[in-house]
Structure 1
Amino acid sequence: MISTSVARRIGLAVLGLGSLVATSASAQTAKPAAAQKGVGVNIANIDPSVKPCEDFFHYASGNWLKNNPIPAAESRWGSFNELADHNNATLRAILNDAAKNAAKAPKGSNAQKVGDYYASAMDSAAIEAAGLKYLQPHLNRIAAVKDLGEMQRLLADPKAHVGSVWYSSGVGQDQKISTQYAVQMYQGGLSLPDRDYYLKDDPRSKSIRTAYETYLVNTFKMLGDNEATAKTNAAAVQRIETRLAKASKSRVDLRDPYANYNKMTLAQADGAFPNLALPLTLKESGLGAAKEVIVGQPEFLKEVSNMLKDEPIADQKQYLRFHLVSSVVPALPKAFGDEYFKFSQTLSGAKKQQPRWKRMLGATDRALGEAFGQLYVDKAFSPAAKARAKQMIENLRVAYAERIKATDWMSEATKKEALKKLNAFVVKIGYPDKWKDYSSLTITRESYLKNMLAAREWANEDQIKHFGKPIDRNEWEMTPPTVNAYYNPPMNEIVFPAGILQPPFYDPKADDAVNYGGIGAVIGHEMTHGFDDQGRQYDAEGNLKDWWTKEDADKFNAKAAVVGKQYDAFTPLDSVHVNGKLTMGENLADLGGLTIAYQAFEKTPQAKAQQKIDGFTPEQRFFLAYAQIWRTNARPEFLRQQVQVDPHSPAQFRTNGPLMNMPEFYKAFGCQDGNKMMRAQADRSKIW
């Protein structure tokens, strides 16, 4: 997944295998004979009524899917959720202990700050009693604005806390000069998940807009507006956001790193977007020394500049007012959270709200991620897991090099650069070598809202302070407990937090087939992001720079287009199709990652010994492990939203999609021409 930080994430995770190696059609449904007992692949999850060569996702996990309905408070449920729940039990115990003992902890210590932050977040009675007391000064500042000049001064103040309005900005790595930080500006300012929610006229989009209008009206009423005024203010917010949506690029267009890199001098940007008051904004943010800005979407920012001049100040104030409130809902009385949940149900399909402890655990992780993370790794992360993961990464790096050298479509010149980039991958495992310093952040029990805003100010200042300094290559974009991983193109790094180095992804008690099909495929996935349709455009130093010959680039694009066409044809619901262009990078990473992990696995003693476990060959266990990682039940509402906004394909296609291109999978399960999991030779994709 890519944000303004350009980090790529794997999203949900998956494992998978199948059945027998026999080549007869009847063998595809035969139940394997009992043999050595294994760990890591749950045989009870397999649905033997499904043929592995017809639908491997439901074969590998069909019984699990039947026996694990989605909990009422969730929009989907799968192995990622199960592992996150396992982590949460440990994290909750840490937080409860920290909250209980915060008064005894040294003032200003991580334990004190984490404990008091979580305790204030969990103190519903205090939040209810405070009402809007701590929010009111910020609402008053918005209400006091009378003209464009005052609005510009308000927006320029980093302590105004008006929420995520108009556009996104910050300090990040210059994608063409990866050794420098730059001021960056991107489109933003929307409340709904995507521009299309404002613009499409299908029944679902209309129903979401109706639910959003109800949420807006009820929020304004809770702020004290009467019915008529609340409706007027809600209409103003929707109109402003719809105008922003019309000016926004689509998610597919946002995947072009060159089109979204437009460097301007400050004078040029100020001339192009005069009403943004950039010199004032940068000065107030502590970036007065900046002489250049990188603009992601110039046409969008031109429209924002026009809107600041054209839109009535009274309407702009309602837009800010709503965004401020919606950004701090968990710190407001329960009625605000209940109203938000009612609206969110339209998008997610969840039947009830998650318990407060779980929501506030996540909030603490977001606000104090590395302070909290230190407490987590001290209790839950094994040095042995880190060492094993590091060894697997190096094994996969060797396998990837072999695949690059063996490609028949890439020239020697491009191969040389690809190998240079592969060997330059920086690997981060578990947790940062250097933790963030939270000493300037003050956290108390007085008010959760005050803590929330203080943490935001600290995070903003922490980002701003990078400007003008050397790139900090020790930083992480995910916290240690996170069940995920990512590739960051400008850093040319692959990162695996401690949270994902656990079963079912990695299990020290399991055989190599399980671990290579699990964390091995995740490692290969992140490596492949360095060579997917976006990542391939960055060189070994992390610069956005074309290092491909034109002929090789054309061949790659043709091969990638085959994958795009394959995924365009997948339908998770009735007439809803996966967007092959939006999901291109993740689909290429799934296919490449699984291919590389398999090649590395084939070098292991287990693969060479060919001893069956639970009646399955090593290769079958590899694929079963991969498929069972991706076991997921999802609500229709979630799937519709995922297809529209998420660069990751639904779980069943992250399982079946790559396998349908792999002769190694066909061989492992005896698939034959005509089986759904076996594509015709002319329709297969092979890149690495």
Structure 2
Amino acid sequence: MPRVGGAAGWCVFSVLPPPHSVQEGEDEWGRAMGSEPASGVGTRRRRERSPEEGLPAVHSRQWAMARRALMTVLLFSLILGGSLLLWGYVFKGCGPAHCEMPVCRDLLSLYLASGNTSVAPCTDFFSFACGNTNRTTSSFQALAKENKRRLQRILEAPGSWRLDSGEEKAFQFYSSCMDTGAIEGAGAGPLRQVIEELGGWPVSGDWTPLDFNRTLSLLMSQYGHFPFFRAYLRPLPTPPYTPVIQIDQPEFDVPLKQKQEMNYAQILREYLTYLNRLGTLLGGDPNKVGEHASFSISINSQLYQFLRPPEQQAQGKLFQMVTIDQLQEMAPAIDWLSCLQATFAPMSLSPSHPVAVHDLEYLKNMSQLVEKQLSKHRDFLQSHMILGLVGTLSPALDSKFQEARRLLSQKLGELTGRPPTVLHEELISDIPRVLSAAPWASWCRSQHIRGGSCTKRALLTKPAHPRWMTCVEKTAAFFKPTLAALFVREAFGPSTRSAAMELFTAIKDALIARFQMLPWMDEETRAKVQDKVTQLQVKMGAPEWALKPDPARQEYNDIQLGPSFLQSFLSCVRSRRARVIRSFLQPFPNHRWQVLPWGVNAYYSIPDHVVVFPAGLLQPPFFHPGYPRAVNFGAAGSVMAHELLHIFYQLLFPGGCPACDTHALQGALVCLERHYAAFPLPNGTFFNGSRTFLEDAADTGGLAIALQAYSKRLLWYRGETTLPSLNLSPWQLFFRSYAQVMCRDPSTQDPQDTHSPPTLRIHGPLSNSPAFARHFHCPHGTLMNPSSRCQLW
């Protein structure tokens, strides 16, 4: 009996005619084929003589033939009628069931809130899906915030977990961070204690000068502050990617190069105001504070002048390998061995130990400046280091220091036209500390990280945080193993991971199948592409250390909490640095994750041939095992396909596929460029097709591959569901879910973003899909049903 998906998974019914008619039809069919019923009712009924039984034989034969013909017509009519009833019952009666799970109701609320159904989907699908909400953040940013909310709920409910001693410290740290009353009550006292340990501050009049290099060593190793240069341990961005100490320029609070800023004088005034505020908060005499603050600005300005211009950074070497002994000769003001040994203990360093230097000329000039100031203004140099330390520690201080920092950031944003930034953001610890354009861009290219802009500015640009989010981020930075394990346990259990892997497998299979249909790809390239997909590693959800946490790694025996939050903060800074160093001293894994488990950025790493989808990305509203398949394939599935296509981006470059049909490939490339260029853009929206082309190709191909995978899934599995009250078929829901991922206010587009504006990320791929126009019944020639389409992927 035919079956279709229904509310309970299956609808079972019968369209057979009544038993009497069936048996008569079977008897007549049997006699026509020269056979007789074996026994039973049919045999007995044939022996009962009818009124027509006494007619001549010829009439009996004629009657039998007429009867057979009549029965054939009746049977055909019954089958046709039953088929019509079947069609109506399946597609009108059963149809897709409504998903009534709480996660589906939440998703429905999101779709109803963000969409604008008064707009015709065939003329403006972006407004149809995203036009009812002022989206100052993207869907990815909204998901990232929700993941932090989940971490907040975990940290604020310690009674819901069985905690060991290490996990308990994480909860205690978060609680102390949220205890703003205690932090405000302590005021600047804990910070003054730190300054005394460094020899005091000349402005306060209580100063016991320490050896300059001893002070510098303490600042670097105990407080994470690098006033003249930055040193960090990271893998080299080129093969063999071995960990090495890298030395680079310091982070500057403000740009202090006059030629680059129109409001240079005003920037200096705002920075001077900020430094004066810090000095007075520490109890310094205003006149003395102003003098020392001006000197600090002068030092920073001179250091800034030593930096290579960006164009020279791009043309120069990524780094230069030298030994510590050689570096000591070229920049003698710094006791390099002593400072680096203290910072990177328990590493064992010697004068012959190699280090990677990103700007040797800067270090030479910096050394000369330090030697000059040590001979003339040693007290001012101490003040410069102390003022910088206060800025570094401001996230752990009371609200007066944090407010001073926030005001500076706001003023600089207004004067430079850039968004406010978190200055000296010490909590971003799992990314390379490479500030110059060339090294940072090269590292991004080497890792080929996708799913977000791989730029220093993007990582440090943040709006003002509520207190809970600040404390979640600090706790996550210091107790990453603990929070990773708790987040995975809460948000990415075995069933969710299994469903995500099943989705990825369907997407990967569809990718391979789609490559078989590309008209521009030759058979040899197809075979190579298939081999590359087969050899690809996928990391889903979280690293192994989060999926199977080792309790020994979460003891945090070196962390001492209290008596003040600042002291707890500093203890955590030192503990984290030691853990990072120890991890680099261990055998280097095949792939070191570049995102946290609660992160939302998927990426593909070229060196490791690994694609990574963190657990934070595979969450509502992008993915849930209880969602309709249309949602999972349209949202998370299209993201997966997008990332997989980046593996083959080189095929699209000139000469990248020498055996392919270059004429057909070039035609497809030009077609896609023209397709995107034809769309109107909202006012204030930037679009540069040459810069966004790779992402545009991945968006368009990703949608097509996800759609192909979803179509195959519907053939093999029944029981599809949809969202109630949305009036969308499963196919329409697939496209709606794809668009939801791209929802964002177009006016927030960064001109340097490698992705197209959100309107194009929706209209470009969807209008290139004939299935979209068919399922939304778009008239030919409308925006979403153009006269021609492109097939690149």
TM-score exceeds 0.5: yes
Who is 1:224 aligned against? Answer: 283
Residues 60 and 105 of structure 1, relative CA distance in 2, 3 Å threshold: closer
Matched residue SS, 1:429: strand
- Measure, in 2, the Cα distance between the counterparts of 1:252 and 1:517: 42
Query: How much has 1:331 moved relative to structure 2?
Result: 1.8
Of 366, 369, 374, 2:480 maps to 369
C-alpha separation in 2, matches of 1:236 and 1:247: 17
Q: 1:138 to 1:414 in 2, by over 3 A?
A: farther
Question: Displacement of 1:610 after TM fit?
Answer: 13
Instruction: Supply the distance in 2 between the matched residues of 1:573 and 1:316 (Cα, whole angstroms).
Output: 52
Partners of 1:580 and 1:306 in 2: CA distance: 47
3-state SS in 1 of match to 2:232: strand
Separation in 2 of the partners of 1:250 and 1:675?
49
Deviation at 1:217, TM superposition (A): 3.7
| Equivalent in the alignment of 2:542 | 431
2:69 is matched with none
Task: Decide which of 359, 368, 372 is 2:470's aligned counterpart.
Answer: 359
Counterpart position of 1:394? 505
The residue number in structure 1 matching 2:456 is: none
1:520 lines up with 2:637 in the alignment = yes
User: 1:389 is matched by which residue type in structure 2?
Assistant: A
CA contact (8 A) 2:525 2:659 kept: no
Q: Name the structure 2 match of 1:327.
A: 392
Quote the residue 2:732 is aligned against: 620
Q: Give me the whole-angstrom Cα distance separating, in 2, the residues matched to 1:561 and 1:280.
A: 59
SS in 2 for 1:184: strand
Question: What amino acid is the match of 1:264?
Answer: M
Q: Which amino acid aligns with 1:95?
A: L
Give the secondary structure class of the aligned counterpart of 1:601: helix
Contact 2:174 2:472 in 1 (8 A): yes
Per the normalisation by structure 1, the TM-score is 0.72
Matched with 1:480 is: 597
Show the counterpart of 2:355. 293
- Say whether residues 1:604 and 2:663 are aligned partners: no
Does 2:633 match 1:506?
no
Q: What is the distance in 2 between the residues matched to 1:163 and 1:336?
A: 17
Is the Cα–Cα contact under 8 Å of residues 610 and 618 in structure 1 kept in the other structure? Answer: no
1:139 aligns with 2:250: no
Aligned partner of 2:615: which letter? A
2:455 corresponding residue in structure 1? none
Higher relative contact order (CA 8 A, sep 6+): 1
In the superposition, relative to structure 1, how do residues 201 and 90 fare at CA in structure 2: closer, same or farther (>3 Å)? closer
Matched, 1:283 2:351: no
Segment of structure 1 superposing worse, 497-506 or 278-287: 278-287
Which residue number in structure 1 is paired with residue 58 of structure 2?
A: none
Q: Quick one: distance in 1 between partners of 2:310 and 2:780?
A: 37
Structure 1 counterpart of 2:544, which letter?
D
Corresponding residue SS for 1:602: helix
CA deviation after TM superposition for structure 1 residue 111, in Å? 2.4
Does structure 2 retain, via aligned residues, the 8 Å contact 1:116–1:445?
no
RMSD over aligned Cα atoms: 5.1
Task: Please give the alpha-carbon distance, in whole angstroms, between the structure 1 residues aligned to 2:310 and 2:617.
Answer: 27
Would the alpha carbon gap of residues 604 and 247 (structure 1) be closer, same or farther in structure 2, given more than 3 Å must change? farther
2:181 maps to what in 1?
125
In structure 2, the CA distance between the partners of 1:673 and 1:187, relative to structure 1 (3 Å rule), is farther
Which residue in the other structure is 2:582 paired with? 465
Contact 1:180 1:468 in 2 (8 A): no
| Cα 1:679–1:264 shift into 2, 3 Å | farther
- SS at structure 2 position matched to 1:92: helix
Q: Which residue of 2 aligns with 1:381?
A: 492
Give the conservation status (yes or no) of the 8 Å contact 2:512–2:530: yes
Taking the TM superposition and a 5 Å limit, the aligned residue runs for 1:518-597 are 518-532=635-649, 577=686, 590-591=699-700, 593-597=702-706
Give the TM-score, by structure 2 length.
0.64
How far off its partner does 1:189 sit?
Answer: 1.1
Asked if residue 47 in structure 1 is aligned to residue 158 in structure 2, the reply is no
2:404 partner SS = helix
Of Structure 1 and Structure 2, which has the larger fraction of its residues in helix? Answer: 2
**Whole-angstrom distance in 2 between the partners of 1:588 and 1:211:** 45
Match of 1:264 in 2: 321
Match in the other structure for 2:430: none
Q: Secondary structure at the match of 1:603?
A: helix
1:352-391, CA deviations, whole angstroms, 9 ceiling, x for partnerless residues? Answer: 9544223212221122122123233333433111001112
- Percentage identity across aligned positions? 26
- Give yes or no for contact 1:559–1:686 (8 Å, CA) kept in 2: yes
Aligned CA distance change for structure 1 residues 593 and 224 (closer, same or farther; 3 Å): farther
Sort the Cα spacing of 1:591 and 1:178 in 2 relative to 1 into closer, same or farther, 3 A: farther
Partners of 1:568 and 1:579 within 8 A in 2? no
Structure 2 counterpart SS, 1:508? coil
1:432-486 C-alpha deviation (Å, 9 max, x unpaired): 3224713343242422222222222222222222445421347544333334434
Q: Aligned pairs, how many? A: 618
The answer on whether the counterparts of 1:117 and 1:445 sit within 8 Å (CA) in structure 2 is no
AA aligned opposite 1:45: S
Closer, same or farther: CA 612–458 of 1 in aligned 2, 3 Å: closer
Deviation at 1:515, TM superposition (A): 0.6
8 A contact 1:120–1:448 mirrored in 2: yes
Counterpart residue type for residue 620 of structure 1:
Q
The worse-fitting range, judged by mean Cα deviation, of 308-317 and 322-331 is: 308-317
Decide whether aligned partners of structure 1 residues 202 and 380 sit closer, same or farther in structure 2, where only a CA change above 3 A counts.
Answer: same
How far apart, in 1, do the equivalents of 2:659 and 2:361 lie?
Answer: 33
User: 1: distance between equivalents of 2:669 and 2:200?
Assistant: 52
Secondary structure (helix, strand or coil) at the match of 1:118 reads: helix
Deviations 1:304-338 (A, max 9, x none): 55655567766654553343222222321211122
Pairwise CA distance, 1:488: 3.8
* Structure 1 residue 278 displacement after superposition: 4.5
Code of the residue aligned with 1:57 in structure 2: it is F
Structure 2 Cα separation of the partners of residues 562 and 241 of structure 1: 51
Deviates more, 1:291-300 or 1:515-524: 291-300
C-alpha displacement at 1:503, in angstroms? 1.2
* Inter-partner Cα distance in structure 1 for 2:291 and 2:688: 37
Q: Separation in 1 of the partners of 2:601 and 2:486?
A: 19
- Deviation sequence 1:207-227 (CA, Å, 0-9, x none): 777655543442333233444
Tell me: CA distance 1:215–1:672, structure 2 relative to 1, closer, same or farther (3 Å): farther
Describe how 1:110-189 pairs up with structure 2 within 5 A: 110-140=166-196, 141=198, 150-157=211-218, 158-163=220-225, 165-178=227-240, 180-189=242-251
Aligned pair in 2 of structure 1 residues 620, 308: CA closer, same or farther (>3 Å)?
A: farther
Q: What is residue 4 of structure 1 aligned with on the other side?
A: none
Q: Give the letter for the 2:484 counterpart.
A: G
Q: Which amino acid aligns with 1:115?
A: F
> Conserved in 1, the CA contact under 8 Å of 2:139 and 2:743?
yes
* Residue deviations 1:223-249 (CA, integer Å, cap 9, x gap): 334445555555555555566666668
The whole-number CA distance in structure 2 between the counterparts of 1:567 and 1:260 is 37
Decide whether aligned partners of structure 1 residues 667 and 477 sit closer, same or farther in structure 2, where only a CA change above 3 A counts: same
Distance 1:558 1:143 in 2: 70
Shift of 1:502: 1.9
The residue identity in structure 1 corresponding to 2:541 is G
